[in-house]
Chains A and B, each alone.
Chain A
Amino acid sequence: MIDPHTPDPIQYVGEDGTPVLALPERFTPALLRELHRDMLRAREFDRKLITLLRQGRTTFYAQSSGMEATQVGLARSLRAGHDWVWPYYRDHTLALSMGVPMYELISQCLGTNSDPCRGRQMPHHFASAALKFVSISSSIASQVPPAAGSAMAQKYLGTDEITVCTFGDGATSEGDWHAGMNMAGANQAPCLFVCENNQWAISTGVRQQTASATIHIKAQAYGMPGYYVDGNDIVAVMEVCAHAAERVRRGDGPALVECLTYRVGSHSNADADAEKQYRTREEVGVWLARDPILRLEKLLEHLGEPVSPEERAALIAQTHREVDQDVLRAEATGQPDWRIIFEDVYADLPSHLRDQAAALRAEQEGARA
């Protein structure tokens, strides 16, 4: 039985890769290898996108390196394409693991004609109706009240879908976060809230963010259980998230899971100098040693099923090839033209926008002539 409100994060696999709790049966070597593949793929995706950024082929990138166990683990605890997700901008690993095609994600990051969001938003602000992955808003915590509403709708409609809402630790300071948590609690809405506590909101550490010892204890105030989990231990993340999701699905009301993890890279390309500005090399070093991919590799070794260096290298090479191919394919579709400015603002083009679009068309055609 997984106990909410524990003082220490729940852990199944210790930092050296040996289990501290008996591994649940479903974690067969085959599954663990699949998880390893998903995490490594996400890590390499990060690496490649940073290269694209350096090449000036995209303009913004928010890595999730170090947070793979949290996002892959969460994805694996849900019913992809069935449950609704109200994510935040650092969730591309979650998206990939839920089955969003890499090509679509890359297209969104490049703002090409193949971008399902049609170049309207900054890189990482993805949406997929097919996977019920709702459009990401940059405005921190603004997804939380709508997630509560999404879950209330499910309750009303009587479906067995659940809603999942993710956010960083910083987001839990916003009024919207408290409003959404309260709304979900008051209505016993089937919503799973997941805090990806990577301990920094740009340069503001979690200790400056809140005087609360943990985020998960705040759940109590809104009438829901709060679970605390080692977010770099994929087994623990999956066990706790699956348990919490099941509870929500059963109709026992909302729940909050806090995954304690770390963003090892900078917040985005805008603060590449994180180590000089606001945190120490030592701190980053401590968390690099807690790398979730490394930990899973140690576990597999412990189980006598090690990932060979060749296997690892092949996986990395394959991901790089895939990204390269998708980038070229996306870039070949070209950039959306000026028309995207006016489309999708309303269901129909109102007369004032028709006039503005006509004026811009004349200007664009004049410029080309």
Chain B
Amino acid sequence: MTATQEKATPTPVGETRTINLIQAITEALAEELDRDHRVVLFGEDVGARGGVFMATAGLQARFGRERVFDTPLSEASIVGAAVGMAARGLRPVAEIQFADYMGPGFDQIISQAAKLRYRSGGQFTCPLVIRTPSGGGVKGGHHHSQSPEAYYTHTPGLKVVMPSTPYDAKGLLKAAIRGEDPVIYFEPKRLYRASKGEVPTHDYTVRIGEAAVRREGTDLSLIGYGGVMPDVERAAEALGAEGVSAEVIDLRSLVPWDQDAVVRSVQKTGRAVLVSEAPRIGNFMGEVAYVIQERAFDSLLAPVGQVAGFDTPYPYVQDRVYLPGPNRILAACVRALNH
């Protein structure tokens, strides 16, 4: 195991048990509520109902209505109130029911949350977390399937993360809650129950801004984040069966993102394929491709490949066709390898 890999994907030490991604989120929230009385949790239906995906199940019963509560149906109020609470020293964790519904809260996110520290010369800060399920694959039509992360990565002042494993989900959420900046925490909803993995029983965090090397390889770097990761790993396995050694990197954090891990990998393999499910134009991976050509141009043996969603709204029927599955990822790898 290389030093990089140790740093990026620490093997859980000590006692662990296997849980799924949504359980990891619930545990992180419960432990942070327990640890710090300033942490409060709210949003639409997070109280008695426990959230539409049950991420906050049982938390109101355990921590009371003062700390875990339902809000009126208004994302602008949810985000705006979180900004106010954060400015007054609380640690608000707000849930937006679907990333698709951040729209009504958009102005509060980009005008208030993102800029409070900067425009006040650091006199006021905004340490809040907005958790929201995102991505497709659940037959939800466009309003329950979009991947809007690029809007937020484009806004200075926000940190943006998207885990794909229970270990990262828990560690990143705790880091987000304990951090000093506003964090948009996207949850790939189709992995809520599909992604299972070992998580330590002890307290830990995952530093925001570090990628994870999921698989080491020498011929090609496959780089992704969030909901596409299982398909990326499947594609890497298929390549392995054909004798091609693919390295798999999970970005985990988009702002800040781990340029060094990506550049190091591409310098080793000479080929990169970037995978995400958001529409292609303005996709965050465009930035990754830019940095690869800027910092690893001399190592490149082929153009940087990109697999993304189409530049169309997310459909209800044919929704699986919209998503870049292993076949589309493999085809991009073959193009890069045959260049």
Q: Are the CB atoms of A338 and B143 closer together than 8 Å?
A: no
Q: Are the CB atoms of B104 and A363 closer together than 8 Å?
A: no
Q: Are the CB atoms of B73 and A140 closer together than 8 Å?
A: yes
Distance of A208 Cα from B48 Cα, bound (Å): 12
Query: Scoring A residues 185 to 204 as 1 if CB is less than 8 Å from chain B, else 0, what string do you get?
Result: 00000000000000001111
Q: Are the CB atoms of B44 and A204 closer together than 8 Å?
A: yes
B52 at the interface (CB under 8 A from A): yes
Q: Are the CB atoms of B74 and A175 closer together than 8 Å?
A: yes
Q: Are the CB atoms of B74 and A360 closer together than 8 Å?
A: no
Q: B104 is contacted by which of A122, A176, A277, A367 (Cβ under 8 Å)?
A: A176
Distance of A289 Cα from B166 Cα, bound (Å): 47
B45 at the interface (CB under 8 A from A): yes
Q: Are the CB atoms of A173 and B72 closer together than 8 Å?
A: yes
Q: A139 is contacted by which of B52, B100, B328 (Cβ under 8 Å)?
A: B100
10 residue pairs, one from A and one from B, having the closest CB atoms = A119-B317, A203-B49, A138-B143, A173-B72, A122-B141, A170-B73, A111-B317, A173-B74, A278-B48, A173-B73
A242 at the interface (CB under 8 A from B): no
Query: Scoring B residues 85 to 115 as 1 if CB is less than 8 Å from chain A, else 0, what string do you get?
Result: 0000000000000001101100000000000
Distance of A174 Cα from B327 Cα, bound (Å): 42
CB distance from B67 to the nearest CB of A (A): 16
Q: Are the CB atoms of B74 and A174 closer together than 8 Å?
A: yes
Given A111-B316, A173-B73, A352-B281, A202-B104 contact (CB < 8 Å)? no
Set of chain A residues within 8 Å of B123, measured between Cβ atoms: none
Q: Are the CB atoms of A203 and B48 closer together than 8 Å?
A: yes
A328 at the interface (CB under 8 A from B): no
Distance of A139 Cα from B105 Cα, bound (Å): 12
Distance of A59 Cα from B138 Cα, bound (Å): 10
Q: Which residue from chain B places its CB closest to the CB of A171 in the assembled complex? A: B73
Set of chain A residues within 8 Å of B44, measured between Cβ atoms: 201-202, 204
- Contacts of A97-146 to chain B: CB distance below 8 A: 111, 119-122, 125, 137-142
- Contacts of B35-52 to chain A: CB distance below 8 A: 44-45, 47-50, 52
Given A138-B144, A341-B321, A203-B315 contact (CB < 8 Å)? no
Binding site for A on B (CB under 8 A): 44-45, 47-50, 52, 70-77, 100-101, 103-104, 139-144, 280-281, 310-313, 315-318, 321-322, 327-328, 331
Q: Are the CB atoms of A337 and B318 closer together than 8 Å?
A: yes
Distance of A154 Cα from B314 Cα, bound (Å): 32
Q: B49 is contacted by which of A60, A202, A363 (Cβ under 8 Å)?
A: A202
Q: Which residue from chain A places its CB closest to the CB of B322 in the assembled complex? A: A341
Q: Which residue from chain A places its CB closest to the CB of B75 in the assembled complex? A: A174
Set of chain B residues within 8 Å of A336, measured between Cβ atoms: 317-318
CB distance from B104 to the nearest CB of A (A): 6
Given A174-B104, A201-B73, A345-B316 contact (CB < 8 Å)? no
Q: Are the CB atoms of B49 and A338 closer together than 8 Å?
A: no
Q: Which residue from chain A places its CB closest to the CB of B308 in the assembled complex? A: A356
CB distance from A118 to the nearest CB of B (A): 8
A-B pairs with beta carbons under 8 Å apart, 24 shown:
A59-B139, A119-B315, A120-B315, A122-B143, A122-B316, A138-B141, A141-B104, A170-B72, A170-B73, A173-B74, A173-B77, A175-B74, A175-B77, A202-B44, A202-B49, A204-B71, A208-B70, A338-B321, A340-B315, A340-B318, A341-B321, A342-B312, A345-B313, A356-B312
CB distance from B208 to the nearest CB of A (A): 29
A-B contact count (CB 8 A): 125
Q: Can you name 10 extra interface pairs (CB under 8 A) apart from A139-B103, A175-B74, A203-B45?
A: A120-B142, A139-B143, A140-B101, A176-B104, A202-B44, A204-B45, A204-B72, A341-B321, A353-B310, A353-B311
Given A353-B311, A363-B328, A277-B317 contact (CB < 8 Å)? no
Q: Are the CB atoms of A356 and B311 closer together than 8 Å?
A: yes
Set of chain B residues within 8 Å of A271, measured between Cβ atoms: 49, 52
Distance of A142 Cα from B101 Cα, bound (Å): 11
Q: Are the CB atoms of B312 and A341 closer together than 8 Å?
A: yes
Distance of A336 Cα from B321 Cα, bound (Å): 12
Query: Scoring A residues 6 to 20 as 1 if CB is less than 8 Å from chain B, else 0, what string do you get?
Result: 000000000000000
Distance of A353 Cα from B311 Cα, bound (Å): 7
Set of chain B residues within 8 Å of A340, measured between Cβ atoms: 315, 317-318
Distance of A277 Cα from B47 Cα, bound (Å): 10
Distance of A170 Cα from B72 Cα, bound (Å): 7
CB distance from B176 to the nearest CB of A (A): 25
CB distance from A168 to the nearest CB of B (A): 8
Set of chain A residues within 8 Å of B318, measured between Cβ atoms: 119, 335-338, 340-341
Distance of A267 Cα from B305 Cα, bound (Å): 43
Distance of A202 Cα from B101 Cα, bound (Å): 15
Set of chain A residues within 8 Å of B317, measured between Cβ atoms: 111, 119-120, 335-336, 340
Set of chain B residues within 8 Å of A335, measured between Cβ atoms: 317-318
Query: Scoring A residues 323 to 358 as 1 if CB is less than 8 Å from chain B, else 0, what string do you get?
Result: 000000000000111101110010000001100100
Set of chain A residues within 8 Å of B50, measured between Cβ atoms: 277
A21 at the interface (CB under 8 A from B): no
Distance of A203 Cα from B139 Cα, bound (Å): 22
CB distance from B82 to the nearest CB of A (A): 15
Distance of A328 Cα from B316 Cα, bound (Å): 20
Set of chain A residues within 8 Å of B327, measured between Cβ atoms: 363, 367
Distance of A236 Cα from B238 Cα, bound (Å): 66
Set of chain B residues within 8 Å of A367, measured between Cβ atoms: 327
A210 at the interface (CB under 8 A from B): yes
Q: Which residue from chain B places its CB closest to the CB of A343 in the assembled complex? A: B312
A270 at the interface (CB under 8 A from B): yes
Distance of A247 Cα from B321 Cα, bound (Å): 50
Set of chain A residues within 8 Å of B143, measured between Cβ atoms: 121-122, 137-139
Set of chain B residues within 8 Å of A59, measured between Cβ atoms: 139
Distance of A336 Cα from B319 Cα, bound (Å): 11
Distance of A128 Cα from B71 Cα, bound (Å): 34
Q: Are the CB atoms of A203 and B70 closer together than 8 Å?
A: yes
Set of chain B residues within 8 Å of A173, measured between Cβ atoms: 72-74, 77
Query: Scoring A residues 204 to 216 as 1 if CB is less than 8 Å from chain B, else 0, what string do you get?
Result: 1000111000000
Q: Which residue from chain B places its CB closest to the CB of A169 in the assembled complex? A: B73
Distance of A352 Cα from B104 Cα, bound (Å): 29
Q: Are the CB atoms of B47 and A203 closer together than 8 Å?
A: yes
Set of chain B residues within 8 Å of A170, measured between Cβ atoms: 72-73
